[in-house]
Amino acid sequence: MLTTIVSRYSTNRSELLESGLSKLKALFDHPLCNIPGSPIPEEDWLLKVIPKVKASEKSSQMWSVSYNSYWFIPVLLNSNSHPPWLRFHLGISRWQLYPHHDPNMEALTQQLATHRVVSAVQKSGGTQLKLVMSFPNYGKAMVKPMKQDRNDETNYNLYYFSDFERHNAEIAAFHLDRILGYRRVPPVVGRLVDVVKEVKEVTTDHKLARTFFTSPVGNVCFYGQCSYYCSTEHAVCGRPRNLEASLAVMLPDISLAARRAWRSPWRRSYSRSKLAKWETEPDYCSKVKKTPPYNKGTRLVDFMDMVILDFLMSNMDRHHYETFEKFGNRTFLLHLDNGRAFGRHSKDEPSILSPLEQCCRIRRSTWLRLRLLSLPQYRLSDVMRASLSNDPLHSVAPLLSEPHLAALDRRLKTVLETVGRCQKQRQESVIVCEQAQLFPQAGSRWTYGM
């Protein structure tokens, strides 16, 4: 009897996955997701490579590649290809981190998931333990270990700024961001890390090495050094050595591509007793709309894109966001640090949508995409389930449980209802068509009267 139920359940799940995969393909092939743009002008690429080949070196296979002619990386070029991480860096433009149909994505995620780890050190800064891993081809990844079971719901008495980060949230955020058509989260994959072979034995970080110990049940654990949660009580442990982790591809070093951090105008107070201005001032958005950089170009609708991503995954921790300095104010927003998302499925957090509610602005392409994802043939939960099944950790357990997937559909409905209310209430335009994004050279903005 039990076996029949179990096998029926797994048949249902694999059927769901099958149909989800074809929905995902249909979504990515949909004309709305394939609007042709004009070629990208040279100044809209973040970096460029100038191969430097000396005559004496031509016979050897070692080349020096220089980024913008001031950074040298030895690259083995026995075929005429760059390593996947370098191709990723070279594909970053003013409007996105990687292209829609990216021929490099498979190799890039494969590298993160399988390449030998040659070093692992603690990443300095930030509040919680994270590592930087390096690969033989000079690629690097930012690693967040699993700190709590992926199905544990965040305790209701915990403030958002005290919650542990989740490795599966980092992975799921990458998939969601891509499904929304943003491409503003650096690619992330899951990996079972052998904490002895791939961290302890290869680290040059003595402070990190000193924090390894064996738990009473024989699991290998470590806790590192950081400003919170780095103690024996908060150690991360393998089973007995294997530890789930998220690996995000590293962005180009800031010495090559400086980034600017922007304080979110809708930042939470990060205090247990104070409210932020946006929570008390009824006309808060009209002030923001008049304040640079939100008064011009795409910044306000870019911000709304990020708000929608955060509401869907219930991330309350977006205190800052970053942009590449090279592109000034006319560029996309990086959606880094998504570890505090997907903490609760049984509750939504309406305050995350406050900016959309207060400003009533949304980019037209985002609105159309969200409407597509609310249709049964492209349903958000189905395409997310399918997309996440491509991650290596899916074989351990689904990265988002069914209640989390169902929450995505429920929250999407709320976003569309909020836009609907805006359309009814407001005289001015709600849906903003960003010509600047679809046709980067045009640079102008026009609105759709509603």
Give min distance, CB of 103 to ligand ATP, in A.
21
Give the one entry of Mn ion, ligand ATP, none that residue 250 binds, where binding means its C-beta sits below a cut-off of 5 to 8 angstroms depending on kind: ligand ATP
| Count of CB atoms situated within 10 Å of the CB of 359 | 22
Residue 58, annotated as binding a ligand: no
Residue 392 as a binder of ligand ATP (CB under 6 A): the answer is no
* Out of 99, 126, 265, 293, the residue judged to bind ligand ATP by CB under 6 A: 126
200 annotated as a binding-site residue: no
**Residue 26, annotated as binding a ligand:** no
Question: Under the criterion CB under 6 A, does residue 337 sit at the interface with ligand ATP?
Answer: yes
Task: Tell me how far, at minimum, the Cβ of 141 lies from Mn ion, in Å.
Answer: 17
Beta-sheet pairing, 431-433 with 362-363 = parallel
Q: Which residues bind Mn ion (CB under 5 A)?
A: 337
Give residue 105's identity as a one-letter amino acid code. M
97 binds ligand ATP (CB under 6 A): no
- Token readout for 64 is 């020096």
Query: Cα–Cα–Cα angle for 244, 223, 143, nearest 5°?
Result: 40
User: Can you tell me which residue has the tokens 């949230």?
Assistant: 169
Residue type, 187: P
Query: Which of Mn ion, ligand ATP, none has residue 128 at its interface (CB below 5 to 8 Å by kind)?
Result: ligand ATP
Residues contacting 397, CB < 8 A, separation 6+? 150
Q: How many residues bind ligand ATP (CB under 6 A)?
A: 15
C-alpha torsion sign, points 322, 326, 329, 331: negative
- Select from 175-183, 243-251, 323-331, 378-386 the region that touches ligand ATP (CB under 6 A): 243-251
Per the residue annotation, which of 163, 317, 382, 391 is the catalytic one?
317
Q: Which stretch binds ligand ATP (CB under 6 A): 120-128, 279-287, 386-394, 408-416?
A: 120-128
Query: Cα(244)–Cα(236) distance, rounded to whole angstroms?
Result: 10
Q: What gap in Å lies between CA 200 and CA 442, rounded to an integer?
A: 52
What's the rounded Cα separation, in Å, for the pair 315 and 311?
6
Q: How many residues would you count in the chain?
A: 450
Q: 142 touches which of Mn ion, ligand ATP, none (CB within 5 to 8 A by kind)?
A: ligand ATP
383 binds ligand ATP, rule: CB under 6 A = no
Q: How far apart are CA 151 and CA 154, in angstroms?
A: 9
* Whether 317 is catalytic: yes
Kindly list the catalytic residues: 317
Residues forming the site for ligand ATP (CB under 6 A) = 125-128, 130, 142, 165, 186, 248, 250-251, 322, 336-337, 339
Binding site as annotated, residues for ATP? 128, 144, 165, 248-251, 322, 337
